[in-house]
Amino acid sequence: MNKIIRALIAGWGAKKLGGGCVGTIVVFVIIYYLLGYCDRM
C-alpha cells in the first residue's frame, strides 16, 4: 500500500476514533502500523 494512502486512511481513522490530542496521535500510530503489517502479509 502506498505510504500516502496509508497515512490518509490512518489520519481519517484517528480523527473518528481519537479522544483528544494525545489519543488521536496514538490511534494514528496504531492504525498506520496495522496497515503496514497487513500489507506485508
How many angstroms separate the CA atoms of 7 and 39, rounded?
A: 13
- Angstrom CA distances, 13 to 1, 21, 24, stand at 16, 14, 9
pLDDT-based confidence at residue 38 (cuts at 50, 70, 90): confident
6-12 own/partner pairs: CB under 8 Å, 24+ apart: 6/32, 6/35, 6/36, 6/39, 7/32, 9/35, 10/35
The label of the residue with cell 490518509 reads 8
The pLDDT value given to residue 26: 92
- pLDDT for residue 19 is more than 90: no
9 falls in which pLDDT band (50, 70, 90)?
very high
E strand or H helix at 5, and its extent?
Answer: helix 3-17
